[in-house]
Amino acid sequence: MTTNPIQLFDTESSTFTYILAAPGDTDAVIIDPVARHWERDLRHLERLGLKLRLVLETHAHADHVTSAGKLCEMTGALAAVPGGCGIAPAELQLQDGEVLRFGPGEEIRVLHTPGHTAGSMSYAWRRNVFTGDALLIDGCGRTDFQGGSAQALYDSVTGKLFTLPDDTRVWPGHDYQGQSVSTIGWEKRHNARLAGRSRADFARLMDQLDLPRPKLIDVAVPANRNLGLPHGG
């Protein structure tokens, strides 16, 4: 059954953070929390009467630092991350096809969706899919760093995400135009970068984007590989 997550937004990096909980239950999962909002996010859990069990990352982000480590320290939740992202301190190193469980019987299905980064994963829960920077609303993530590959992204989106039921809600890792949610069916038919395009066409399009290097990449990626916690000590 459709159950919308709680959606939170970071205006600096246009990043979405999601809180998932089954209706009527107190166990919660958070996806892609942002460092500067750790208190805001704990406050939301407190207000909603939720207990944090898992903190999920879709990939090692290049544009913001995660609060995953901090939230785990504060709550005793476990960090669960893509096995191929080099995020060493996380307790759970996820593999494609794995199922995470929380609450009275909730299941999160782990989908390896490489292309934005080599390790990127999406998470499917109750007719929702949290796509990180693989599939965005009417767009997709860039493919020019961290093992990114336009061909791999094309295969991840068209061969994996687009096989989910059409009414699956798509909750992206970012949006830059005030949008909140889409569906697999709509993206399959209308996505400006992917709908009706061949793999080679898509790769050409992505090659031509010529995007600037993310300002924070040299700070953010190493920090995120340590769950946003200070190194060493």
What does the binding site for a copy of itself look like in residue numbers (CB under 8 A)? 1-11, 23-24, 37, 40, 43-44, 46-49, 167, 169, 177-183, 185-186
* DSSP per-residue codes, 43-99: HHHHHTT-EEEEEE-SS--SSS-B-HHHHHHHH-PEEEEETTS--TT-SEEE-TT-E
Edge-first strand listing for the sheet containing 128-132: 99-102, 106-112, 121-125, 128-132, 169-172, 182-183
By beta-carbon proximity to a copy of itself, the closer residue of 91 and 167 is: 167
Angle at 157 between CA 155 and CA 163, to 5 degrees: 100
**Could you tell me the smallest distance in angstroms from the CB atom of residue 182 to a copy of itself?**
5
Shortest reach from residue 196's CB to a copy of itself, in Å:
17
Q: In angstroms, what is the minimal distance from the CB of 105 to a copy of itself? A: 16
Cβ closest to a copy of itself, residue 43 vs residue 204:
43
Instruction: In whole angstroms, give the CA distance from residue 115 to residue 148.
Output: 5
**Closest separation in Å from C-beta 142 to a copy of itself:** 23
Nearer to a copy of itself, 37 or 142 (CB): 37
Nearer to a copy of itself, 8 or 134 (CB): 8
